[in-house]
Amino acid sequence: SILAIFLEEAVEVLERCDTLLNSWRDKLSDNKLVQNLQREIHTFKGGARMAGLEDLGHLSHAMETLLENIAANRMEATVAAVQALEEGCDKLNIWVEQLGSGQEPKIGKALQRFEARVEQLQSPQSEAIAPEPEEVTEVGTDEIVAEPEDKAETADQAVDVPSQITPARVSRKRPAPTR
């Protein structure tokens, strides 16, 4: 099926994105890394849309647009931009894993949060605006514990905790996909 093909390709694309983001963080002026990352996100977006996964397509499109703006020097390449893209890739990874295990992805407000981060990057005082702090404890190389990103206002909202947890960014070597 198209979904199975997309899921296999998505894992590989997101692994390459992780590697590119780690390299770019250390070398922000390297426009070649930005272009390669842009190409990978574009590939992911096309596959998601072909598989009918519009929400994954929308988030990857917003990520691609950020990269286009940086590549065209309409926005500055900053660690904050790398962090926003890392968070976007983390969310895409979670959704791909959920789809791979037969679950419906818990989309929540991920696109709105990403767009808000990009807006902060575009504002002149963006350096003064830090992302909301996230309390993270690294338990090992494969297990990550993070506090919920959003606090529930009512008891009814607290029930859907899994969709409110955002993974922490930890650089680690993922196992190669099996074929």
Q: What is the pLDDT at residue 147?
A: 41
pTM for the whole structure: 0.69
Which amino acid appears at position 45 of this protein?
K
Q: Per-residue pLDDT tens for 52-87?
A: 999 999 999 999 999 999 999 999 999 999 999 999
Judge residue 39's burial from the number of C-beta atoms within 10 Å of its C-beta, 0-12 exposed, 13-18 middle, 19 or more buried. middle
pLDDT at 179 over 70: no
Judge residue 170's burial from the number of C-beta atoms within 10 Å of its C-beta, 0-12 exposed, 13-18 middle, 19 or more buried. middle
In the DSSP assignment, the letter for residue 174 is: P
In the DSSP assignment, the letter for residue 127 is: G
Q: What is the pLDDT at residue 91?
A: 96
CB-based contact 44:14 (threshold 8 Å): yes
Q: Per-residue pLDDT tens for 78-124?
A: 999 999 999 999 999 999 999 999 998 988 899 999 999 999 988 76
Secondary structure class of 91 (helix, strand, coil): helix
The Cβ-side half-sphere exposure at 179, using a 13 Å CA radius, reads 4
Q: Per-residue pLDDT tens for 122-176?
A: 876 544 444 444 444 344 444 444 444 444 444 443 333 333 333 444 444 444 4
Alpha carbon 47 to chain centroid, angstroms: 16
Residue 145: phi and psi, rounded to 5, are: -115, 130
Residue 149: phi and psi, rounded to 5, are: -75, -40
Q: CA-to-CA distance for 113 and 91, rounded, in angstroms?
A: 11
Task: Kindly indicate the confidence band of residue 178, based on its pLDDT and cuts at 50, 70 and 90.
Answer: very low
CB-based contact 160:148 (threshold 8 Å): no
